[in-house]
Structure 1
Amino acid sequence: MIEPIRKTSPIVIETLGDLINSGMRLSVYCGQALGPHPCGRRLDVETVEIARLFGRDAVYVGREFPLKCARCGSRKLEYRVGADPTIVPMAGDPFNRP
């Protein structure tokens, strides 16, 4: 039976560097999706690039980075944290029985 890994302390993810080190990403979307001229596109900017511009120690929660949508020019952006889809489990599928 595979036992889950138990950590003794919680993982705190406060900065862009923490996101990168944890295998997560910050996606940026145009926030004009509900405006008179809907956009809502995903900006082509990677978490590593944002960290290079603003520093790995930059806090991302409640912060607005000085970026803008290339399509509509809006600076109203939404930031969404997500897991990296390229991460694969090391132990394999525990529900796959031979």
Structure 2
Amino acid sequence: MSTTYVITFVVRPSERSRFLALLNPVLDAMRDESTFEYAALHVDPSDENRFQLHETWESHADVVDVQLHRHYRAAWHHALEEILERPRDITIWDQLRAD
């Protein structure tokens, strides 16, 4: 079954536009990957600088071994330390059931 990554970002207010400008092309490119299933980006209604990303992929091994190393992710990953208030919170969930 699929694996979902729930990633929470707290972005520096001055870097909000840059965060979105770097993330949106990554999300667009992911759609073309054969093991990609779904992604959704959320914003906290009480804090415009707190985001949560849900990414669902067919295989955790593929994400770790292949997807994280895609060229279109390089600028995004390189900028995270400057953009974020603190490190990302990443949790990994394995799907048990889909209806």
**TM-score, length basis structure 1:** 0.31
Q: Which has the higher helix share?
A: 2
**TM-score, length basis structure 2:** 0.30
Higher-Rg structure is: 1
